[in-house]
Amino acid sequence: MWFFARDPVRDFPFELSPELPEGGPPGPWVLHRGRKKATGSPVSIFVYDVKPGVEEQTQVAKAAFKRLKTLRHPNILAYIDGLETDRCLHIVTEAVTPLGAYLKARAEAGDLRELELSWGLHQIVKALSFLVNDCSLIHNNVCMAAVFVDRAGEWKLGGLDYMYSAQGNGGGPSRKGIPELEQYDPPELADGSGRAVREKWSADMWRLGCLIWEVFNGPLPRAAALRNPGKIPKSLVPHYCELVGANPKVRPNPARFLQNCRAPGGFMNNRFVETNLFLEEIQIKEPAEKQKFFQELSKSLDSFPEDFCRHKVLPQLLTAFEFGSAGAVVLTPLFKVGKFLGAVEYQRKIIPVVVKMFSSTDRAMRIRLLQQMEQFIQYLDEPTVNTQIFPHVVHGFLDTNPAIREQTVKSMLLLAPKLNETNLNVELMKHFARLQAKDEQGPIRCNTTVCLGKIGSYLSAGTRHRVLTSAFSRATKDPFAPSRVAGVLGFAATHNLYSMNDCAHKILPVLCSLTVDPERSVRDQAFKAIRSFLSKLESVSEDPTQLAEAEKDVHAASSPGMGGAAASWAGWAVTGVSSLTSKLIRAHPTAAPAETNVPQRPVPEGLPAPAPTPVPATPTTSGHWETQEESKDAEEDSTAADRWDDEDWGSLEQEAESVLAQQDNWSTGGQASWAGQTSNPGHKSQESDWSSWEAEDAWEQGWQEPSPPEPPPEGTRLASEYNWGGPEPSDKGDPFAALSVRREAGAQPRRDSWGDDNWEGLEAESRQAKAELARKKREERKREMEAKRAEKKTAKGPMKLGTRKLD
């Protein structure tokens, strides 16, 4: 029977890369790239081939093998595995690159910064302090070739071949015999003068000075070159001179050298070093300290090296979220670091965390996720969005915090392309219908209409036919003026999704009713949209063969490209609407969405009158349409051309932090007058037309066709007959002033009129009636009291002795 000896190199769980070796420290060691056979993870392998006749060198290599295997420190090269045979020595460490090659590559790429160098030198000095002060070991080989850099940019001290004990155990330093290494010896050893080394760290600190010179100036040609600091930063020069001084006694201890460089204004006193030191001790930091650190981290990430962010900051952020209490503060730096990752790495590291965050009930985390969705939406696949993201996001539509509701609406613009048929055409439309009809915040209703116009091309043909016309028609009757403009722009943006019959019978009548709207901006946008639809109808009328081309998208399946032409065609107005909404929100963040220029609905008889709406110091009248609003509209139109996707959404984020800490009742202050009307179940307002939307099983009936507009009052002339701002003066006054004249007594108010009545007079009369009623009640009560007193006097008999008469 034959027995074959096993080859230990073949059975070794690591293998060398076929690439050329990267070099290594001067001497017999050769550095190779390698990988672990089981996982394929990269490693570095130092290989020493045993040769006959060099027993002394072999003993040095074996001593280095032993030292590296037993020393463990974050700033010393990390040992993973090793192999020792009669023919070779293999030392497997973390994947590293020689410092010389690393600095050269970074310099050629133009990415080398002083921040990296300050932290790298900090790590080497800290490793020397550990060896000298904690282990009583002298490295005896500090130089450029003994330093390596890992994938995170961390500097590691290696080259332990010539290390010896400072206490004299095991003999003194071994002879190097390599000229490239002997040039780093201090003068007290090189000149053979026999001067005693006063401190155990003196020789290593001299070599540290040589390393600093090489980092900033390149390879050291001779020891005399150390007298010229060259490119060494001025803040480091005084401490460098202490290291290369001829007197070994004045060379500082590594710990004191670090302290001197960390002093205010020192070379190692910067944000990058402070961040690294905090990350090394983050496990023992207080929660308040971690919160503050992560809040300030985002500001500094732009100046930090990319590798450092990917391989050191990112793991700490993921750990802080998984096992710590950092919460929402980690989101901003997490997504900022995520920009440095590839698609595969992002899917593996960031997306699982994001999916888990969406299930959180923390409002601060939810609103930050919605605000920053644009940064990670491209990495989410459709099954993940529909099954794990969307079910949690839709809860934001029902949140009592208006900031979360608004951000949820805006996030649908990013999620819509990835939603399936049910979520997009059923669930989302149900929530949009409720928001447009029931939400007490005017800006949210406006943004819901804007978002619906943007995602209209993704809807199915049946949903488009059933929803779009009714939804935009409803928006044109909203008491919030920007919402009415958004309805006009919704028609314009989706013009290619309507048949010619719909344009003529449904859309144009709605738009024409807006030509007498009290708001100048609404009238202007209505006229523009009317001209566009009329032009389209006229072209088809002149050439009926164009009908098929004009209606090609009406019954087509949903497609993200169908809305492209519509978006650019209607882009002239969307920015103006949303910027106006944004201004209104920022100017009155908690004010009622009702506008002072838009008269409120009449209150039915028998119901209490609403609280009077505050009137601004300078009320907007019809005369101001030709002055203030004309200049404002001109400015908005000039910045709004062809930018459907660049509009400034109305935003409530500026108050999100303060709002989250408040109660769920958001209808305070100025909202009471308007929101009270919509929340009062007995109050008959515009919302009463939309009550059928509340039933989830009957949501489809919510998009009801708008009621046909009633004829204007007698004497109202066509809009084309008036002077809309021309140079010639007109003594006829504002034609729309007649529409706000108070109705005559006994007239029945119309159901859907927004500007027919003068409510100020009605409110004054109501107050007078209440005062008169209160006065009558007081007089009647006084008479009753007097009658009771008279009855008591007559009912009482003669007074008894010893008692007092009490009135």
- State CA 242 to chain mean position distance: 48
For 250-269, the pLDDT digits (tens) are 899 999 999 999 999 999 99
Report the alpha-carbon angle 30-35-37, nearest 5.
130
CB contact at 8 A, 456 and 464 = yes
CA–CA gap between residue 119 and residue 273 (Å, rounded): 6
Spatial strand order in the sheet of 14-16: 14-16, 30-36, 42-49, 88-94, 79-84
CA–CA gap between residue 105 and residue 114 (Å, rounded): 15
CB contact at 8 A, 599 and 757 = yes
3-state secondary structure 542-586: HCHHHHHHHCCCCCCCCCCCCHHHHHHHCHHHHHHHHHHHHHHHH
Residue-averaged pLDDT of the chain: 74
Report the alpha-carbon angle 651-655-658, nearest 5.
155
> For residue 735, what pLDDT is reported?
43
Torsion sign (Cα): 83, 84, 86, 89: positive
> For residue 177, what pLDDT is reported?
63
The SS3 call for residue 468 is helix
Higher pLDDT, 474 or 324: 474
Mean pLDDT confidence for 686-690: 36
Could you tell me the CATH superfamily of domain 98-269? Transferase(Phosphotransferase) domain 1 (1.10.510.10)
> For residue 742, what pLDDT is reported?
37
Task: Inform me whether the pLDDT recorded for 8 exceeds 80.
Answer: no
Mean pLDDT confidence for 49-74: 87
Task: Inform me whether the pLDDT recorded for 784 exceeds 70.
Answer: yes
> For residue 764, what pLDDT is reported?
54
> For residue 694, what pLDDT is reported?
34
CA–CA gap between residue 405 and residue 402 (Å, rounded): 5
CA–CA gap between residue 798 and residue 564 (Å, rounded): 101
Per-residue confidence at 672, pLDDT binned at 50, 70, 90?
very low
Per-residue confidence at 598, pLDDT binned at 50, 70, 90?
very low
CA–CA gap between residue 59 and residue 75 (Å, rounded): 25
3-state secondary structure 650-664: CCCHHHHHHHHCCCC
In sequence order, which residues have a C-beta less than 8 Å from that of residue 248 and are 6 or more positions away? 186, 188, 195, 197, 198, 199, 202, 203, 206
Per-residue confidence at 187, pLDDT binned at 50, 70, 90?
confident
In sequence order, which residues have a C-beta less than 8 Å from that of residue 283 and are 6 or more positions away? none
Task: Inform me whether the pLDDT recorded for 27 exceeds 80.
Answer: no
> For residue 29, what pLDDT is reported?
83
CB contact at 8 A, 9 and 52 = no
Mean pLDDT confidence for 275-282: 90
Report the alpha-carbon angle 800-805-807, nearest 5.
150
Higher pLDDT, 588 or 440: 440
CB contact at 8 A, 60 and 153 = no
Mean pLDDT confidence for 387-408: 92
The full set of domain ranges for the chain reads 14-97, 98-269, 270-337
Mean pLDDT confidence for 782-803: 72
41-45, 327-331, 531-535, 783-787: least confident range = 327-331
CB contact at 8 A, 708 and 509 = yes
> For residue 705, what pLDDT is reported?
42
Mean pLDDT confidence for 29-47: 89
Higher pLDDT, 90 or 807: 90
> For residue 560, what pLDDT is reported?
53
> For residue 486, what pLDDT is reported?
94
Task: Inform me whether the pLDDT recorded for 561 exceeds 90.
Answer: no
CA–CA gap between residue 496 and residue 457 (Å, rounded): 10
> For residue 474, what pLDDT is reported?
93
Mean pLDDT confidence for 472-486: 93
Task: Inform me whether the pLDDT recorded for 649 exceeds 80.
Answer: no
Task: Inform me whether the pLDDT recorded for 636 exceeds 80.
Answer: no
CB contact at 8 A, 514 and 526 = yes
Higher pLDDT, 310 or 609: 310
For 191-231, the pLDDT digits (tens) are 655 455 568 889 899 999 999 999 999 988 888 889 899 99
Q: Which of 381, 464, 386, 380 is nearest to 425 (CA)?
A: 464
CB contact at 8 A, 132 and 253 = yes
Mean pLDDT confidence for 286-309: 88
Q: Which of 15, 119, 135, 134 is nearest to 67 (CA)?
A: 135
For 411-427, the pLDDT digits (tens) are 999 999 999 999 999 99
> For residue 766, what pLDDT is reported?
59
Task: Inform me whether the pLDDT recorded for 773 exceeds 70.
Answer: yes
> For residue 59, what pLDDT is reported?
87
Domain boundaries 14-97, CATH class: alpha beta
Task: Inform me whether the pLDDT recorded for 750 exceeds 80.
Answer: no
CB contact at 8 A, 452 and 468 = yes
Mean pLDDT confidence for 662-677: 36
61-65, 79-83, 677-681, 777-781: least confident range = 677-681
Mean pLDDT confidence for 692-709: 40
> For residue 127, what pLDDT is reported?
95
> For 730, what's the count of Cα atoms within 13 Å in the CB-facing half-sphere?
13
> For residue 642, what pLDDT is reported?
38
Q: Which two tokens stand for residue 150?
A: 């890992």
34-43, 50-59, 242-251, 618-627: least confident range = 618-627
Between the alpha carbon of residue 728 and those of residues 516, 626, 734, the distances in Å are 21, 13, 14
Q: Return the H-helix or E-strand segment holding 165.
A: strand 164-165
Cβ burial 332-345 (10 Å sphere, 16+ → b, else e): bbbbbbbebbeeee
DSSP letters for 746-796: TPPPPTT-SSS--HHHHHHHHHHHHHHHHHHHHHHHHHHHHHHHHHHHHH-
> For residue 688, what pLDDT is reported?
34
164-168, 470-474, 560-564: least confident range = 560-564
Q: Which of 502, 553, 490 is nearest to 526 (CA)?
A: 490
Task: Inform me whether the pLDDT recorded for 398 exceeds 60.
Answer: yes
Torsion sign (Cα): 355, 406, 694, 455: negative
Indicate yes or no: pTM above 0.75.
no
Mean pLDDT confidence for 103-132: 92
Q: Which of 475, 756, 403, 450 is nearest to 575 (CA)?
A: 450
Report for 62-66, 128-132, 799-803: range of highest mean pLDDT:
128-132
